[in-house]
Chain A
């Protein structure tokens, strides 16, 4: 039971990280391989701000805002001008990811950090005791995902994002400001990555290269869920979260990446379009 609850919590946090990646792929057709480094840089910014202010919540919020700004700069400077070249974008974004990682490494050095987001106390759920702050992390992530879902489905901006994902040219003919909506999408995606990072850093240790691990997790989730499909990404992240907590318990946490990879290969072999193929095929 504890395994499932832990897995759900991890899944919710991974969903936050993966939705950003999926959103960017869905809207812009670009694979943002600097996503993981954005996640890591948020952790380090929050850490420094926490040392400065002494309040982790304020530090985290400022870090998230800063990272979404970085995201907008990356979109405007490096992704928008090259949006037509898919493979060049892969090389550009992985280069940017590496640059961000090295910036972290050169500013903060080779250290491991965690952020002290902590709520004391524990809860009794279905006969097992779990710490309260894990429940809070879970609820917070679920709330954020729901908010994003409502934003994309209901608001005017969300409709613009969906319109661009379907057909960029047609959307611009209908008066959608492509540049602004793309920047907004990237800002949202980076902010989600940053939130995931800040929340994850209260459970796991982070170092400059940790971003790549989470990029890999997010990539596995997006592939399993179907590239660019948010619904699939959410389901896949819960699957992978539970799988990870089971592997961590029964075998060893070191086999995590291997299990992800086997999952990717199996899914690509059976159903190349991932989970999204299940509902897209029917309609």
Chain B
């Protein structure tokens, strides 16, 4: 089907609109608000959205939970710091190189673990992230230990940084969308839903999981690198288990196994914690953990899944599908209808706008 024909069909137009309207709103925000704090928070939300999408690629799409994305996020930051400091690599190239380095590291973790079925990847990523953090702390003459490494900013000013993060986020979300929903949609879902059946159908399970894991590490490395340049510092804090939990929470709350879900979750959680910063700062991680547990127990499809269920006028209860395969993370997901896309888009962006208005009021 040519692009022209595609454009003429109404569902495609609607779908395109639900993508374009929020993007236009996001792109125009700095023109209407000159509150630097709001733009700073949105920049953070964009960065975390990249991280959450990258987590979703391995865990939501191929069903192997990674508990150590802090490794790739913080590792990307440290890689950029070293590249920029020691080798004088120009900063705009740093994110790509650090992403590639993280992809290489992911192979070291992934090759022994992904050959085995079961929870090995979860354990190994958890252990490797902690190990990397302890190496960073154990070598203070190289990594400056707990203090972290300062970096020169990629660019000055909040607004240029915001646009960079937005463009980066859009590009990566598009790439992940193409990979996970078009090129490798079938093998990824087959591997997630039933590993044995996938293997029997001639799908190389290890290959696709490794592919998803490496790409995931690549994108997380880019996010970490941008984060380090934006914050102008990288510390072992970014390697801690809290950082690993964050993309997990965002993807679970937004909706696993989708591309829009994690982005949505990132925006909701960042805006929520920042707008209630005074009240809940001390218990924010408790809230993250509680939200994760609550969502994965009661609403494994996340907000996006719930919205889709609402549109179809059927109670969203994937957990109760008889004969659901035991190894899956989220159960059977059905393709979304276009109304669901429209409604989800509208609800989410109006919610974001309300929160933003509230914050601008403060």
Contacts and interface: CB of A to CB of B under 8 A. Distances in A.
Nearest to B331: A85
Given A31-B123, A268-B112, A85 B128 contact: no
A157 interface: no
Given A87-B65, A98-B289, A268-B120, A256 B115 contact: no
Contacts of B123: 31, 219, 223, 264
A86 B326 contact: yes
A96 B293 contact: yes
B49 to A, nearest CB: 20
B113 A268 contact: yes
A257 B131 contact: yes
10 contacts: A87-B59, A88-B330, A90-B119, A92-B297, A98-B245, A220-B127, A223-B120, A262-B131, A269-B112, A272-B116
Contacts of A269: 112
Given A87-B65, A91-B296, A265-B108, A255 B134 contact: yes
A227 interface: yes
Contact residues of A: prevailing secondary structure: helix
A283 interface: no
B138 A252 contact: yes
B326 A265 contact: no
B124 A265 contact: yes
Given A91-B65, A92-B297, A106-B282, A86 B289 contact: no
Interface of B: 59, 63-65, 67, 108-109, 112-113, 115-116, 118-120, 122-124, 126-128, 130-131, 133-135, 137-138, 241, 245, 248, 252, 282-283, 285-286, 288-290, 292-293, 296-297, 300, 324, 326-330
A216 B126 contact: yes
Given A95-B289, A254-B134, A258-B138, 18 more contacts: A31-B122, A31-B123, A81-B297, A87-B64, A91-B252, A92-B297, A95-B292, A102-B283, A102-B289, A106-B282, A106-B283, A106-B286, A209-B241, A216-B126, A216-B127, A227-B119, A252-B138, A268-B124
B111 to A, nearest CB: 8
B127 A261 contact: yes
A84 B330 CA distance: 12
Interface string A23-41: 0000000010100000000
Contacts of B300: 88
A81 B300 CA distance: 14
A118 B127 CA distance: 32
Interface of A: 31, 33, 78, 81-82, 84-88, 90-92, 94-96, 98-99, 102-103, 106, 209, 212-213, 216, 219-220, 223, 227, 252, 254-258, 260-262, 264-265, 268-269, 272
A94 B67 contact: yes
Nearest to B128: A261
Given A98-B245, A106-B282, A254-B138, A86 B290 contact: no
A265 B296 contact: no
A220 B128 CA distance: 11
Nearest to B135: A258
A90 B66 CA distance: 10
Contacts of A252: 138
Contacts of A87: 59, 63-65, 119, 122, 327-329
A84 B326 contact: yes
A99 B294 CA distance: 11
A220 B122 CA distance: 12
B115 A272 contact: yes
A268 B116 contact: yes
Contacts of B296: 88, 91-92, 95
Per CB-CB distance, the 7 closest pairs between chain A and chain B, nearest first, are: A98-B289, A254-B138, A102-B286, A261-B131, A95-B293, A87-B329, A257-B134
A62 B131 CA distance: 34
A58 B119 CA distance: 38
Contacts of A88: 296, 300, 329-330
B250 to A, nearest CB: 13
B293 A99 contact: yes
Nearest to B113: A268
Contacts of A220: 127
Nearest to B108: A265
A32 B34 CA distance: 48
